[in-house]
Chains A and B, each alone.
Chain A
Amino acid sequence: MASSIPYDPDFEDNNPFSSQIQTPTHSIPALNNSIEDEAPEDDDNDETNDNDNQQSNKLTQEELRRLLPERFSHKFSMKITITSIEKNKPENPIIKFDASIENLPRFRQIRYKDIRRTYQEVVKFNKYLSVSNLECFVPPIPSSVTSYPNGGEDESKKLMINWQEWFDRICNNPIIIRDEEFVFFIENDFGYSVINSNKKTSVASGLVRKTLKQLAVPYDEYEDLSTFRPLIKNCYLTCSKLVKLLDKNSKNEKLLATTINEFSTRLQELSKIEIIHPGMKNMWEKLSKIKLIEADLLLIQSYNDMGILGDGLQYLSQEFYEIKESLTNRHLIMRELIQAQQNTQAKHLQANKIKSKSSLDPIKVDEAIRSLEYATKTEESLNLQIKRISGEMLIEKDEILDYTELKLHKLLKKFTLNKVENNRKILKHLETIRLDIRIIDEKGGLSRLNRENLSNLKHNLIQSQSNNGDSWSSRTFRSLNEEKETKEEVEIDFKDEDVDAKNAANLLGVATF
């Protein structure tokens, strides 16, 4: 079938041109094996494609190879390593990175060092990429700021990780690295602006896009993709809602931290007037101290919560938004295809009309045939484009789902570790002042439970978090310890290897969570 959308079968049968096209599509695969690039057999992508094929039954392996040659070539690769992020104007930091290229055409060097791009330049580049590579879900660039305190160590660390992740993802996409704009992005010595800007603009933008989105979604023969958009859209909506709530929560927590801080001051004041009994004075002072620590920890906690989970979900929701837009673009192209098909149909009718006429005007016949050919070609190219987009998206869809899964796990892991650490700290501090409260007088407080002769006030004051595990549970396993151990192991592993500059940069850049 020439078009992905079935329409009037009568017309199909009568159309000599469409049948002409139909035959080559089926015959080409055999030839295609040799064309373009040789494809290695043992590939993860192959497996996923197989699955796709089974599911959709629309795109065969051969078709995919023909449509997406980049996917099956492992000749080309690019590696970008962040070296530092320089402070510039706020919102516009300078990102410094090294790049190494393998086999990619047009690049004049294999290694590039100290490439400097400002944030805004990368934004432009990213925008271009998403427009020119309609078949890809181009990852959105990370935000220039984080939820961590401005300019802090946490923030710069997190930014490095975010940027490295982004570059890794861009470089791992075989279609994107083939984009010739990449050459300009890497090679330009002084700054960068989009060179191919007039080559392609977005499919439809502004009001047109809005209007078109209101129309019914065109029929999608790839079921996976047709259900994918609503899912992603919901994910996007829920995620951004969640981010907003988390933000609110963190604001509340910060407020609570200040209130607890104030509470601690109040206790301090109270302890000052508690002149009658030194024990009471001591109690209030200790309590005040603990509360102060708690307030600080809560503040740190709320920053961490937002820095880890909030920012992470924020990025995910951006990602989902971009994916949603890409899927919308695909719909728009599908609509273009429908228009093209209708155009072809109209032209075909016109040709038929001329054919049925008794007197044939050769100029008119030529004209009709030419326009029919043109329309058919447009339809054909659009059809191919759609197939290519659909095929690539099917692959990337799985990648995205895997990525989301991994990302969420990582986020929650870091979040959990952080929470545990924080709670353990608070617990430790709380436990230190128990005795201070009990020794106020001989009664020994409630812990004595009416046992008049219990002279040992310290009977149950052991710190609950010993090295042998927590006293309240039989668990000997501890997330934090394990994490530390694995980290140490990794460090030892790396020490064994000989660390050259590149390796070191790699190590520094790699996410440690």
Chain B
Amino acid sequence: MNHDDDLTASHWDDVFTPSNNYGSSSFAAPDYNGFSDLNINKQPESDNDEDENEIDDKNDDQHSSENNDQLEEQDTYEANSYNPTVSAYDAAKSEMDQMYELRKEAKNEQKSQLMNELTKDDNFDLENSIVSPKIEPQDSLFLDNGSPIKSEKIDTNDKKKGKKFKRPRKFSSQRNIQHLSNVGPLGLNKSTDNLSIKSNNAKDDLLKESEAPLYDIKPEAEETSTTKVELPKLPSEKSINNLDISVSDPMKVGDITNAHIIYTITTKPKQANDKFPNEVSITRRYKDFRWIYHQLQSNHLGRIIPPPPSKQTYIGRFNESFIENRRLSLEKMLNKIASIDYLSSDEDFIMFLTSEDFANEAKERERISGSGASTQNNDSLDNDKFLDTTVDTSSSNGFMSSIFSMSTKIDEPDEYFENKRHYIETLETNLKNFYKSIELIINQRVDIVNIMEQIIITIEELSDLEISKKTSNLLAAFNDIQIKLKENLDRINLQHHLTLGFTIEEYLRIIGSIKYIFDQRLKIYQTYQNYLLDLNKKKSSLSKYKSRNAVDKIETLNFEIDKLSTRTSNFENKFNLISETIKHELETFEFEKIDDFRNSVEIFIESSIESQKESIELWETFYERQELSKY
């Protein structure tokens, strides 16, 4: 990372564009605001570490007092400079930070339990990964990590740190812990060594890959994994999900004008933990799920966030099966989020799971982060549209996407994304068609079940007529079979709906999330390009002035160019970062896709097999019992 640029940036940001710090929370460029602010706040820490002569601002004073933490600060810095999640807090002014520090202190107290819980998770993961035999020889420093004693050390280290970080800090303590745990026990010694960290990261990546069995069989995955060595640090993706989240008890509340359904979310830690209260139960409504989704989207640039189910038209909102469906989707969404480390440790997410006063806290956090999560109306999420529209789905994405598609006209710097975008879009179209026809099948089966019901009634009437005793018996037995077959069909229909139908629907929504991160990336790219253009202009004018020897103008221009180039490089970094993140995310997406679809297809097939067996059995029994072979 480019430290010199960052240093200058901190000054020039303060001098030139104070307005940027009060990030206007306009929808147009929330990312931009988030990132520029990130720099200001981040910079002083690196000052603290590397250049004691720099003039410190208030924050630095605070931090310098914590000398024993300095090395960790370095770590934190590393983590943050690579990790886009920081924007949530850094979006606000440093004054604001102070105001909130007191509040945070209290919060941290409360949350440290949950965080500890989560970091424990990390440790566990790391231990496994370190012990795993796939350590590369290049990381000679880590070769001895395989010994159990050392991995124990990690544990103790982390516990100490977890307690220390209860102090008011700008950065949530869990982030430090998380990073530390990734660095390992030797991290403290080499924290100043960028290179070693990089190799460490690379190793982490490799370890991660060694953990995932999927990587081994995919030839293509092998290729991408080599490119990923250059990837900036990414926290390990998967961990054993320590939280057991269930969404239950949908209840209708409110009067006619604002009637809505509230769901009870119960969070249970899987492992007994004395720090974590046994169970947390809170109620949330659908709107809140959307809020957390958007909040996480803006907190984690370039990440695919598990999306909530789509909105429903006003009619049928309180339909029983719809509510049940939605409940299931919401539960799945939360569990998916909780199974991803960097999302499950997100403060907003924890707040979402624990806060008693959600409405106000949500507003506050939204204001801090400037995400505008509550006002965002990403139509990629509300893909229920596609159910109404005709076959031509590619053009049915409405006004919003037409704006996005305009923005895609910018020259795409990376062919990979061009291909991926195309792939995702065709995948979406195909899945939509897939979903439509499976929906159609399900509906037609429902029709058949209805007719079967009438047939059953009629056969019963016929059997009651008692044409003869034998016929009546035969018809009654036949009717029994029809009833069972009807139930069978009904069951299998529901099962298909819940497996394949559900998975496809979920993936359509995930594709919405993917599209969103593509757009995020493009927006950053656009800003970057604008700055670059600006910079070049300034540079050319500078050379013009230089030839004319206009000293004062050269000076101002130099300032501006300095500042601009910092920004440009910042955005370039951000752009590269998000690109890499997306690449990585897409890969994970592919693996998850294989897993999810394979599982649902397997259930689909197995349930079909079972239902066939049942039908055969029914008919065979009928044949035997009624002694039909005589006729």
Q: B246-254, B301-309, B619-627: which lies at the A interface?
A: B619-627
Please name all residues of chain A whose beta carbon is closer than 8 Å to the beta carbon of B468 when the two chains form the complex: 401-402, 404-405
Please name all residues of chain A whose beta carbon is closer than 8 Å to the beta carbon of B426 when the two chains form the complex: 273
B451 to chain A, nearest CB (A): 5
A 231-258 contacts with B by CB, 8 A: 231, 234-235, 238-239, 241-242, 245-246, 248-249, 252-253, 255-256
Known A242-B459, A405-B467, A472-B613; contact A249-B474, beta-carbon cutoff 8 A: no
User: Which residue of the partner chain A has the closest CB to B422?
Assistant: A273
**A249:B213 contact, CB within 8 angstroms:** no
**Residue of A269, A445, A478 with most partner-chain B CB within 10 A:** A445
Determine the distance from Cα of A483 to Cα of B629 in the docked complex, in whole angstroms: 7
**A430:B609 contact, CB within 8 angstroms:** yes
B224 to chain A, nearest CB (A): 11
Please name all residues of chain A whose beta carbon is closer than 8 Å to the beta carbon of B478 when the two chains form the complex: 412
Please name all residues of chain A whose beta carbon is closer than 8 Å to the beta carbon of B459 when the two chains form the complex: 242
**A413:B448 contact, CB within 8 angstroms:** no
| Interface presence of A446 (CB below 8 A) | yes
Determine the distance from Cα of A285 to Cα of B424 in the docked complex, in whole angstroms: 20
Please name all residues of chain A whose beta carbon is closer than 8 Å to the beta carbon of B440 when the two chains form the complex: 259, 262-263
A 247-304 contacts with B by CB, 8 A: 248-249, 252-253, 255-256, 259-260, 262-263, 266-267, 269-270, 273, 275-277, 279-280, 283, 287
| Interface presence of A447 (CB below 8 A) | yes
**B605:A479 contact, CB within 8 angstroms:** no
| Interface presence of A203 (CB below 8 A) | no
Known A266-B430, A404-B468, A405-B467; contact A445-B217, beta-carbon cutoff 8 A: no
User: Which residue of the partner chain B has the closest CB to A245?
Assistant: B455
**Residue of A234, A273, A287 with most partner-chain B CB within 10 A:** A273
Of the candidates A234, A255, A283, A405, the one whose C-beta lies within 8 Å of that of B470 is A405
Of the candidates B434, B599, B615, B619, the one whose C-beta lies within 8 Å of that of A479 is B619
**B612:A404 contact, CB within 8 angstroms:** no
A281 to chain B, nearest CB (A): 11
Question: Chain A 437-474, CB within 8 Å of chain B: the 1/0 string?
Answer: 11011110111000000000000000010000010110
Interface of chain B: mostly helix, strand, loop or mixed: helix
**B441:A427 contact, CB within 8 angstroms:** no
**B462:A424 contact, CB within 8 angstroms:** no
A417 to chain B, nearest CB (A): 7
Determine the distance from Cα of A470 to Cα of B597 in the docked complex, in whole angstroms: 30
Please name all residues of chain A whose beta carbon is closer than 8 Å to the beta carbon of B590 when the two chains form the complex: 276-277
A 317-340 contacts with B by CB, 8 A: none
**A479:B623 contact, CB within 8 angstroms:** yes
Known A235-B465, A408-B471, A482-B629; contact A440-B620, beta-carbon cutoff 8 A: no
| Interface presence of B617 (CB below 8 A) | yes
B483 to chain A, nearest CB (A): 15
Determine the distance from Cα of A419 to Cα of B445 in the docked complex, in whole angstroms: 18
Determine the distance from Cα of A437 to Cα of B451 in the docked complex, in whole angstroms: 34
Please tell me the size bucket of the interface on B.
35 or more
Interface size on A, residues (CB 8 A): 74
Determine the distance from Cα of A427 to Cα of B603 in the docked complex, in whole angstroms: 15
**A256:B631 contact, CB within 8 angstroms:** no
**A441:B465 contact, CB within 8 angstroms:** no
| Interface presence of A96 (CB below 8 A) | no
Determine the distance from Cα of A151 to Cα of B220 in the docked complex, in whole angstroms: 55
User: Which residue of the partner chain B has the closest CB to A255?
Assistant: B444
Please name all residues of chain A whose beta carbon is closer than 8 Å to the beta carbon of B471 when the two chains form the complex: 404-405, 408
**A263:B598 contact, CB within 8 angstroms:** no
| Interface presence of A434 (CB below 8 A) | yes
Determine the distance from Cα of A290 to Cα of B474 in the docked complex, in whole angstroms: 34
Please name all residues of chain B whose beta carbon is closer than 8 Å to the beta carbon of A277 when the two chains form the complex: 218, 590, 594
B369 to chain A, nearest CB (A): 35
**A410:B631 contact, CB within 8 angstroms:** yes
User: Which residue of the partner chain B has the closest CB to A513?
Assistant: B631
**A266:B437 contact, CB within 8 angstroms:** yes
Determine the distance from Cα of A68 to Cα of B617 in the docked complex, in whole angstroms: 50
Question: Chain A 374-418, CB within 8 Å of chain B: the 1/0 string?
Answer: 000000000000000000000000000110111011101100110
B399 to chain A, nearest CB (A): 27
Determine the distance from Cα of A473 to Cα of B615 in the docked complex, in whole angstroms: 13
A289 to chain B, nearest CB (A): 13
**B445:A256 contact, CB within 8 angstroms:** yes
A54 to chain B, nearest CB (A): 18
Known A242-B462, A464-B613; contact A259-B437, beta-carbon cutoff 8 A: yes
Known A404-B471, A408-B474, A437-B605; contact A420-B437, beta-carbon cutoff 8 A: no
B 534-574 contacts with A by CB, 8 A: none
Known A283-B598, A427-B616; contact A253-B465, beta-carbon cutoff 8 A: no
| Interface presence of B458 (CB below 8 A) | yes
**B626:A409 contact, CB within 8 angstroms:** yes
Of the candidates A238, A260, A279, A513, the one whose C-beta lies within 8 Å of that of B594 is A279
A 460-506 contacts with B by CB, 8 A: 464, 470, 472-473, 475, 477-479, 482-483, 486
**A408:B475 contact, CB within 8 angstroms:** yes
Known A235-B465, A470-B616; contact A445-B624, beta-carbon cutoff 8 A: no
| Interface presence of B402 (CB below 8 A) | no
Please name all residues of chain B whose beta carbon is closer than 8 Å to the beta carbon of A475 when the two chains form the complex: 620, 624
User: Which residue of the partner chain B has the closest CB to A473?
Assistant: B617
| Interface presence of B427 (CB below 8 A) | yes
Determine the distance from Cα of A277 to Cα of B599 in the docked complex, in whole angstroms: 15
User: Which residue of the partner chain A has the closest CB to B631?
Assistant: A409
| Interface presence of A431 (CB below 8 A) | yes
**B220:A263 contact, CB within 8 angstroms:** no
Determine the distance from Cα of A445 to Cα of B213 in the docked complex, in whole angstroms: 13
Please name all residues of chain B whose beta carbon is closer than 8 Å to the beta carbon of A404 when the two chains form the complex: 467-468, 471
| Interface presence of B431 (CB below 8 A) | yes
Known A245-B455, A252-B451, A441-B217; contact A423-B631, beta-carbon cutoff 8 A: no
Determine the distance from Cα of A256 to Cα of B440 in the docked complex, in whole angstroms: 8
Of the candidates A245, A427, A445, A447, the one whose C-beta lies within 8 Å of that of B613 is A427
Determine the distance from Cα of A130 to Cα of B316 in the docked complex, in whole angstroms: 58
| Interface presence of B214 (CB below 8 A) | yes
**B598:A486 contact, CB within 8 angstroms:** no
Please name all residues of chain B whose beta carbon is closer than 8 Å to the beta carbon of A241 when the two chains form the complex: 458
B449 to chain A, nearest CB (A): 10
User: Which residue of the partner chain A has the closest CB to B216?
Assistant: A442
**A441:B594 contact, CB within 8 angstroms:** yes
**A245:B458 contact, CB within 8 angstroms:** yes
**B619:A441 contact, CB within 8 angstroms:** no
Please name all residues of chain A whose beta carbon is closer than 8 Å to the beta carbon of B192 when the two chains form the complex: none
12 contacting pairs across A/B (C-beta < 8 A): A276-B423, A283-B601, A401-B467, A413-B623, A419-B619, A420-B620, A423-B619, A437-B601, A445-B602, A472-B613, A477-B624, A482-B629
Give 15 new A-B contacts, CB below 8 A, not counting A260-B441, A269-B430, A482-B629.
A275-B423, A401-B467, A408-B471, A409-B628, A416-B619, A426-B612, A427-B612, A438-B602, A441-B213, A441-B598, A445-B598, A446-B606, A464-B613, A470-B613, A473-B617
* Chain B residues near A (Cβ < 8 Å): 213-214, 216-218, 220, 423, 426-427, 430-431, 433-434, 437-438, 440-441, 444-445, 447-448, 451-452, 454-455, 458-459, 461-462, 465, 467-468, 470-471, 474-475, 478, 590, 593-595, 597-599, 601-603, 605-606, 608-609, 612-613, 615-617, 619-620, 622-624, 626, 628-629, 631
8 nearest A-B residue pairs (beta carbon): A413-B628, A427-B612, A263-B437, A479-B623, A409-B631, A270-B430, A256-B444, A242-B458
